Amino acid sequence: MKSFQTATIYVVDDDDAVRDSMRALLESHGLTVRDYSSALHFLSDNDDDLRAKGSIHGCLLLDLHMPGMNGVELLERLKEMENLLPVIVFTGRADAVLRNRVMQAGACALLEKPVNEDDLKREIGRTLRGKALD
């Protein structure tokens, strides 16, 4: 199985501070991070790789509420593309209906903001290899 160090973590959030803090945290664990301020920017920059099933090793950290295409719409687009990139969604507020919708759209996990560092590391580790990041 590929190691964490060969994984790329894609962070999609319209909040610069969130992207910067996630980048710093993840890079401190030796991960490669690519961040995007919108779902549309993420799609346009990675379209070929996303369509080539299995060509991306890593996971997507996705904010739910963004202008333009929101997180659920991006999840649905990835599902239509039959893309297998694991997705961890984060949001400021999550109720049972939203959690169900996000999971049905293909997310692996839903975390509430502010995201707890240990929870984030655990979920990324689980999606990449089945165990938490050190």
Give the mean pLDDT of the chain: 88
How far is Cα 7 from Cα 67, in angstroms, rounded to an integer?
A: 28
- Tell me the residue range of the domain where 13 lies: 4-128
CATH number of the domain where residue 86 is located:
3.40.50.2300
Residue 86 lies in a domain: yes
pLDDT more than 90, % of the chain: 63
Confidence of residue 131 (pLDDT cuts 50, 70, 90): very low
Q: What are the distances in angstroms from CA 20 to CA 15, 36, 37, 42, 86?
A: 9, 11, 11, 16, 21
Is 89 a member of any domain?
yes
- pLDDT 10s digits, 115-128: 999 999 999 999 88
The tally of domains found in the chain comes to 1
d(CA 5, CA 129): 12
pLDDT of residue 133: 54
Q: What three-state secondary structure class fits 89?
A: strand
Task: Kindly state whether residue 134 falls inside one of the protein's structural domains.
Answer: no
- How far is residue 93 CA from its own chain's centroid? 17
Secondary structure of the chain: what % helix, strand, coil (to 5)? 45, 20, 35
Tell me, yes or no, whether 133 lies in a domain: no
